[in-house]
Structure 1
Amino acid sequence: MFERFNPSPEALTPFLFFTGKGGVGKTSTACATAISLADQGKNVLLVSTDPASNLQDVLEFNVQRDPKAVPAVEGLYACNIDPEEAARMYREKMVGPYRGVLPDDAVASMEEQLSGACTVEIAAFDEFTTLLVDTSVTSQYDHILFDTAPTGHTLRLLQLPTAWSSYLTSSTHGASCLGPLSGLQEKKTAYSESMKALSDPEKTQLMLVTRPESSAIAEAQRAANELLEIGMVNQHLIINGWLEALKTDDAVAKAFYNRQQDAVSKIDENSSKSISILPFVSHSLTGIESLRTWFSLQQEELGLQNETPSLPAPVHSIDDYVDSLIAKNQRVIMTMGKGGVGKTSMAASIAAKLSEKGHSVHLTTTDPADHLSGVVANAANLHVSSIDPKKEVERYTNQVLTEAAELSDSEREYLEEDLRSPCTEEIAVFQAFASIVAQSVHDFVVIDTAPTGHTLLLLDAAQSYHKEVERMNGQKTPDSIKQLLPTLRDPLQTSIAIVTLAEATPVLEASRLQEDLKRARIVPSWWLINQSLFAADSKEPVLANRATEEIKWIDTVQRKLANETVLIPWHI
């Protein structure tokens, strides 16, 4: 198996980018690496560009916009770039001159166009460009560590010549995130130098942080391939949360251990990436000493068991949620959440329970239907369909490009890249969902994953979604499109369930998703906390202690975020 991650200054480049989906431990890993390098006599700058940054919580130090020395770690400095604030300032720079000049709905459309994840990433990239190319800054440090890297999609946009042309401000074609670069022409040279630094394996190394879970590893591999496309070839995979051994014969612990072993066994050890592991710990990785000792913890130190307290308030079961759906006759159910929290399994469980109670149910998912085997039993009154995002995106992209036939080659290249954004997939899949909801003859329709509030507002801002479809298709708007947004906004017809895990980053990301949906006048009422070790009641010391760490996040969901909370045990 793989060796423990143990950072050596000689083996690491000046720039280190830590990336991975939410909740895998990017910030903890970046902080512990920075402390280790500083303890080895290096001058280190740690920079967070995460919208949900908890850098100050992990370091237990008030991290600010400008680099400040971290107490108790000689040679370590930290700063916190707020990408949301950077994006707000960028939007105002772009939209401000048009206030009072253009109609209000046109200004609102411009603001929403610049409210997506692509704009946030590019605004953050604009902020830390100086840290990559300004020698007066870089010469002060041996290593600069970035907590959260831009995606391959964003970096490819930055490479395209058309990104710096007036085409961005003049195009009326239906791309999903068109325009986030249009105000940055003066930064072209700095961006070009930054891209060279990122693609230089002697300068930059990509640290892909993941968990020993099949879905998380697959996501890390997708990110790796996407970033390989733009030249980030120096990559290292860190598998965080590895349960190295068991101390009990606990059934939950054995299943947990075996699932990790199975997931990691499928990794190609002969791939170009170097691979290492970090141990699963039961305690919170906050504070300098906790981070300083993490890489060297021995097995006997990982599971020092404490008494497990009880929850401060009662929670519901998944059956309670299903009974509520039946009682209120909410025929459209959507499970929503960030990647890896179990949206698909939750949607399948809800559909199966509705079916078991004698109701006719249509379950539709963006995961292949055969992934649901073992979750959804065969039943005469349960219909399962699968929407293939790739096919839907291809169909939608072809529609847009057909309408854009008059573009130059470079403009078309930019449009094609823009259509690879996450928003495009949401728009394309949304159309397929709309058709299913409108045509279904079943009592209930359960949908795995819906668009974010930003995408819904993006489509609705100018007039409404059906205007976008009319422009794309050149034909009468399907009734399914006209009806779906009002349906989603009607709590008498639709139930939106937020799915999360009882951990810091998944809860924080889910809370932002909820606020995003509220902007689109869609209000989730139920939160489903999935894969809870607390609810599983494992006796394995390291898992039992981790269960106690979940309580504060379960309490946060109950008291601050959800009207009703369901707690689902980690399942064997």
Structure 2
Amino acid sequence: MKFLELPPRFFFFTGKGGVGKTSLSCATAMHLAGQGKQVLLVSTDPASNVGQVFGQAIGNTITRIHGVPGLSALEIDPQQAAQQYRERIVGPVRGTLPDDIVNGIEEQLSGACTTEIAAFDEFTALLTDSVLTADYDHIIFDTAPTGHTIRLLQLPGAWSDFLEAGKGDISCLGPLAGLDKQRAQYKAAVQALADARRTRLVLVARAQQATLREVARTHAELAGVGLSQQYLVINGVLPPEEAAHDPLAAAICAHERAALDAIPEVLKALPRDRVALKPFNLVGLDALRQLLVTTASQAPSTHAVPVALDAPSLSELVDDIAEDGRGLVMLMGKGGVGKTTLAAAIAVELAHRGLPVHLTTSDPAAHLTETLSGALDNLTVSRIDPHIETERYRQHVLATKGAQLDAQGRALLDEDLRSPCTEEIAVFQAFSHIIREAGKKFVVMDTAPTGHTLLLLDATGAYHREIARQMAGTGLHYITPMMQLQDPRQTKVLIVTLAETTPVLEAANLQADLRRAGIEPWAWIINNSIAAATPNSPLLRQRACHELREIDAVATRHARRYAVVPLLKEEPVGVDRLLELTARPSLITERA
């Protein structure tokens, strides 16, 4: 593998969700440890699953990996990091300042922005020559999906500029003196990221046109922040010999070949590796050891794979949604599971039935317009663009609060609104507006990958608590966005997953997080099921057999209502194909 040649100290694996960053980073860490190196594997993903891959608990402390001498791992827990960060700021003033001021500081530090700053604090410490990392020859970062990673890597420059200008206030950053102590650490982190002798960035993609376009954008954005030492890994490529007697495998191979033939120009010059699709789930040490080596195909499993599933179509799931005539339908889950496609399919089916529908996304990397590739009566499409929403919010505040200020006061307000945390407020406001719109029509929302969505829900919860505090004792009726999300008559949350071990575990963890917030998921959708597509390819049949246990786990342990959508020969792009998707057989049931 080219990306493993002359390995530098720091590796970054990044790319769109679901392309296999975690599997590749774990396999790379094992490979380097197997050469006698001391290796630290770090996950910066808010929805980390490194512990699930290795089959042991890891968490927010450096932990030795059983069975792999020389390898340790760390999962940066954003919530735990945020709590420690808040305590560093509030602890010294507790008992010194009045309680109401201390409580105010704690409330101001309860938002998602503080969570991201805290995780970033831990991240930068690992990029510098600290006591914590001095004993490691290699540090490998399994980063979050693309949009989150870009923001994380841009933060060093953003915070540097922010601190240099002396901007911000306690609601965003806490006491500036505390952050100012981190100035040298941030500068060293930026230098490490930009040094090609120390840092190698591995762009992970699948042989799919949309994924390769996303990687091309990531390449340009990362080069723009100084990460020029980039390698490209095309992961999960179906071996051509599998296409011999299977129309599904032949179609997959043809699509992958066409995608690679049309690879974006900016990616052609990058050193490139190709990793074959394996017939097994990449969980456990034995599976990971086989990922980066070429092995002969295993004999096909003798377990039966269902030839056909006698089950309702996805449109029957839409039947229950359509009965209410309006409401918010939110699709949530890990990146790469197909939320965008399924959100578009559900929205198109509802609109095709004559119902007014607003299809929107909060995912920075979503491609709704490309998926739709056309227009339809009763359907409007939008996107919550963080940059646009932030600028709109800034202009609104300047036009209202700023109208009463003198020139100096307006300039100070303008500086304050350039805080990185202004985006959090702006995106939350746009999200709240869309929730209100669901009282009149259907709003189908394709959400960002799990970690981003949970941060947005954190902001929603913080707003709810503040409104409840202000309204306590007034006797006035009020409804917050969080109350609407918790009302099953107004909101249906669909958790999207794949029939694989790690995605199902992550979906179950997401469901637990939602339930802690008082939100009960309405249904699960298992997308791109090979078992439901009844393949003939030996490799695909093996993967189909592995799926059956996961589908059963969803049916019997996790979901009250669920659907299985088969892997398709043709990519469901365009209104006509999306309508076909909702009419295809799928498996749906409801437990008592």
Q: Could you tell me which residue of structure 2 aligns to residue 83 of structure 1?
A: 77
The answer to whether the aligner puts 1:319 opposite 2:315 as a matched pair is yes
Alignment partners' CA distance in 2, 1:90 and 1:125: 11
* Closer/same/farther in 2, CA of residues 335 and 140 from structure 1, 3 Å limit: closer
Computed over aligned residues only, the root mean square deviation of the Cα atoms, in angstroms, reads 4.2
Deviates further, 509-518 or 494-503: 509-518
* Closer/same/farther in 2, CA of residues 326 and 54 from structure 1, 3 Å limit: closer
Q: TM-score, normalised by structure 2?
A: 0.76
* Closer/same/farther in 2, CA of residues 105 and 324 from structure 1, 3 Å limit: farther
> How far apart are 1:197 and its partner, in Å?
1.3
> What are the Cα deviations for residues 345-400 of structure 1, in whole angstroms up to 9, with x where unaligned?
223322343455x44232423467753547x885x6x3333346364454334335
Deviates further, 27-36 or 262-271: 262-271
> What are the Cα deviations for residues 32-66 of structure 1, in whole angstroms up to 9, with x where unaligned?
21222233444433333444444344345665766
> How far apart are 1:302 and its partner, in Å?
6.1
Q: Could you tell me which residue of structure 1 aligns to residue 420 of structure 2?
A: 418
Amino acid at match of 1:571: L
Alignment partners' CA distance in 2, 1:26 and 1:58: 12
Q: Could you tell me which residue of structure 2 aligns to residue 259 of structure 1?
A: 255
> What are the Cα deviations for residues 430-449 of structure 1, in whole angstroms up to 9, with x where unaligned?
266257445x5x5x444444
Q: Aligned runs of 1:12-91 on 2, under 5 Å?
A: 12-60=7-55, 63=58, 70=65, 73-74=68-69, 76-84=70-78, 85-91=80-86
Alignment partners' CA distance in 1, 2:175 and 2:212: 31
Maintained 8 Å contact 2:398/2:413: no
Q: Could you tell me which residue of structure 1 aligns to residue 287 of structure 2?
A: 290
Q: Could you tell me which residue of structure 1 aligns to residue 586 of structure 2?
A: none
* Closer/same/farther in 2, CA of residues 518 and 407 from structure 1, 3 Å limit: farther
Question: Equivalent residue of 1:151, what SS?
Answer: helix
* Closer/same/farther in 2, CA of residues 466 and 563 from structure 1, 3 Å limit: farther
Question: Equivalent residue of 1:542, what SS?
Answer: helix
Unaligned residue ranges in structure 1 (runs of 5+) = 172-177, 468-480
* Closer/same/farther in 2, CA of residues 537 and 121 from structure 1, 3 Å limit: farther
Maintained 8 Å contact 1:44/1:141: yes
Maintained 8 Å contact 1:330/1:491: no
The answer to whether the aligner puts 1:145 opposite 2:140 as a matched pair is yes
Amino acid at match of 2:533: A
> How far apart are 1:28 and its partner, in Å?
1.6
Alignment partners' CA distance in 1, 2:560 and 2:54: 33
Alignment partners' CA distance in 2, 1:558 and 1:180: 46
Alignment partners' CA distance in 2, 1:50 and 1:202: 25
Match of 2:395 among 390, 395, 398: 398
> What are the Cα deviations for residues 232-266 of structure 1, in whole angstroms up to 9, with x where unaligned?
22122222111131423322222222332333333
Question: Equivalent residue of 1:273, what SS?
Answer: coil
Alignment partners' CA distance in 2, 1:181 and 1:542: 57
Q: Could you tell me which residue of structure 1 aligns to residue 271 of structure 2?
A: 274
Alignment partners' CA distance in 2, 1:92 and 1:532: 46
> What are the Cα deviations for residues 191-231 of structure 1, in whole angstroms up to 9, with x where unaligned?
32222112211111112223223343344344444433332
Amino acid at match of 1:336: M
Maintained 8 Å contact 1:131/1:137: yes
Q: Could you tell me which residue of structure 2 aligns to residue 102 of structure 1?
A: 100
Maintained 8 Å contact 2:105/2:170: no
Question: Equivalent residue of 2:489, what SS?
Answer: coil
> What are the Cα deviations for residues 411-458 of structure 1, in whole angstroms up to 9, with x where unaligned?
96785461685x4674364266257445x5x5x444444864223224
* Closer/same/farther in 2, CA of residues 59 and 373 from structure 1, 3 Å limit: closer
Q: Could you tell me which residue of structure 2 aligns to residue 456 of structure 1?
A: 460
The answer to whether the aligner puts 1:427 opposite 2:428 as a matched pair is yes
Deviates further, 514-523 or 486-495: 514-523
The answer to whether the aligner puts 1:571 opposite 2:568 as a matched pair is yes
Alignment partners' CA distance in 2, 1:105 and 1:293: 53
Maintained 8 Å contact 1:60/1:286: yes
> How far apart are 1:17 and its partner, in Å?
1.7
Maintained 8 Å contact 1:105/1:461: no
Maintained 8 Å contact 2:63/2:74: no
Q: Could you tell me which residue of structure 2 aligns to residue 470 of structure 1?
A: none
* Closer/same/farther in 2, CA of residues 490 and 132 from structure 1, 3 Å limit: closer
Maintained 8 Å contact 2:12/2:199: yes
Maintained 8 Å contact 1:315/1:567: no
Match of 2:530 among 515, 530, 533: 533
Q: Could you tell me which residue of structure 2 aligns to residue 347 of structure 1?
A: 343
Alignment partners' CA distance in 1, 2:480 and 2:76: 38
Deviates further, 94-103 or 267-276: 94-103
Q: Could you tell me which residue of structure 1 aligns to residue 475 of structure 2?
A: none
Maintained 8 Å contact 1:43/1:140: yes
Maintained 8 Å contact 1:22/1:506: no
Maintained 8 Å contact 1:215/1:340: no
Question: Equivalent residue of 2:281, what SS?
Answer: coil
Q: Could you tell me which residue of structure 2 aligns to residue 190 of structure 1?
A: 185
Alignment partners' CA distance in 1, 2:481 and 2:123: 40
Alignment partners' CA distance in 2, 1:233 and 1:465: 49
Aligned positions, number: 535
> How far apart are 1:29 and its partner, in Å?
0.8
* Closer/same/farther in 2, CA of residues 324 and 435 from structure 1, 3 Å limit: closer
Alignment partners' CA distance in 1, 2:135 and 2:327: 60
Alignment partners' CA distance in 2, 1:490 and 1:104: 33
Alignment partners' CA distance in 2, 1:370 and 1:22: 19
Amino acid at match of 1:156: Q
> How far apart are 1:103 and its partner, in Å?
8.0
Q: TM-score, normalised by structure 1?
A: 0.78
Q: Could you tell me which residue of structure 1 aligns to residue 356 of structure 2?
A: 361
Q: Could you tell me which residue of structure 1 aligns to residue 548 of structure 2?
A: 551
Q: Could you tell me which residue of structure 1 aligns to residue 370 of structure 2?
A: 371
* Closer/same/farther in 2, CA of residues 294 and 408 from structure 1, 3 Å limit: farther
Alignment partners' CA distance in 2, 1:435 and 1:324: 21
Identity %: 34
Question: Equivalent residue of 1:207, what SS?
Answer: strand
Maintained 8 Å contact 1:282/1:543: yes
Maintained 8 Å contact 1:9/1:37: no
Deviates further, 512-521 or 528-537: 512-521
* Closer/same/farther in 2, CA of residues 513 and 40 from structure 1, 3 Å limit: closer
Match of 2:497 among 500, 510, 513: 500
> What are the Cα deviations for residues 117-155 of structure 1, in whole angstroms up to 9, with x where unaligned?
x54444344335444333656553432222226733234
Maintained 8 Å contact 1:364/1:447: yes
* Closer/same/farther in 2, CA of residues 329 and 68 from structure 1, 3 Å limit: closer
Maintained 8 Å contact 2:281/2:501: no
Maintained 8 Å contact 2:434/2:443: no
Match of 1:307 among 303, 307, 320: 303
